[in-house]
Amino acid sequence: MKRTIIEIDETACTGCGLCAQACHEGAIAIIDGKAKLIRDDYCDGLGNCLPVCPVDAIRFIEREAAAYDEEAVKKAKLERLTEEAVRGVQAAKKPGASAPDRLACGCAGTQVRTLAQESAGQDAPAQPSRLQNWPVQLQLVPVRAPYFDGCDLLIAADCTAYACGSFHADFIRGRVTLIGCPKLDRADYAEKLTAILTENDVRSVTLTRMEVPCCGGLEYAARQAVAASGKDIPMRVVTFTAEGKILPQDA
């Protein structure tokens, strides 16, 4: 069948591995220092790998390819997790071994960390919610919800509201909020967002994401949607660290 699938320019590829981390389907591997699409049927065509490539070595193409096989992906993941779990147990039995710092999938987004934060104190005043719409989950919100017309839209990766202590005041206030997680949700964000932007009078888009590669899929979908809408909608991307700091280039 002919379908959308990624193509990797191995000449441009630096072998950094960010695309392999961002691809939670396991379709990409680093082989001999270069990223390679190891199986067509593992590629879902959503493109989480595209925005994380620092040299733009990945693109979408239309070609004959095996259909995406979700069951094969699940089976491969289970086998990989089992193998890594066995290796982890074996390593833990060695003298002086410490606990692993991330889950077996190896994704940077699952890295286990303890974050040091300043205490707000028991007497700190409660902050009011600034949420002005419901539902907020991107998969649940109707395309023609009345609050979209004339709104400033916030598209937020799930984790950002937990990383940033002043998220309601700084980002939700005055905006219609949509949330999603490209690593956990099985949905075509670009299609839904394109419909929302096309059929409503959205004045601006602010996207908040974490610095981990898997958030790149949400940013890529939003950029696709803005372009596909055919409208001149300003878009701002804000990237957070796990400690809640905004990366300088997006501040």
CATH entry, 1-106, from 3.80.10.10, 1.50.10.10, 3.30.70.20, 3.30.70.141: 3.30.70.20
Which position has the token pair 């059929």? 199
Q: Which whole number is the average pLDDT over 220-245?
A: 93
- What's the mean pLDDT when you consider all of the chain? 85
Model pLDDT, residue 105:
45
Q: pLDDT tens, 206-225?
A: 999 998 877 877 888 899 89
Sequence ranges of the chain with CATH classification 3.30.70.20: 1-106
Domain 146-250 bears CATH identifier 3.40.50: yes
What does the pLDDT read at residue 121? 60
pLDDT, tens digit, 9 for 90 and up, residues 74-122: 898 888 777 766 666 565 556 655 545 544 444 555 555 565 656 656 6
Provide CATH 3.40.50 ranges for the chain.
146-250
Q: Give the per-residue pLDDT at 233.
A: 97
Share of the chain above pLDDT 90, in %: 53
Residues 196-207: tens digit of each pLDDT: 999 999 999 999
- The predicted pLDDT at position 83 comes to 72
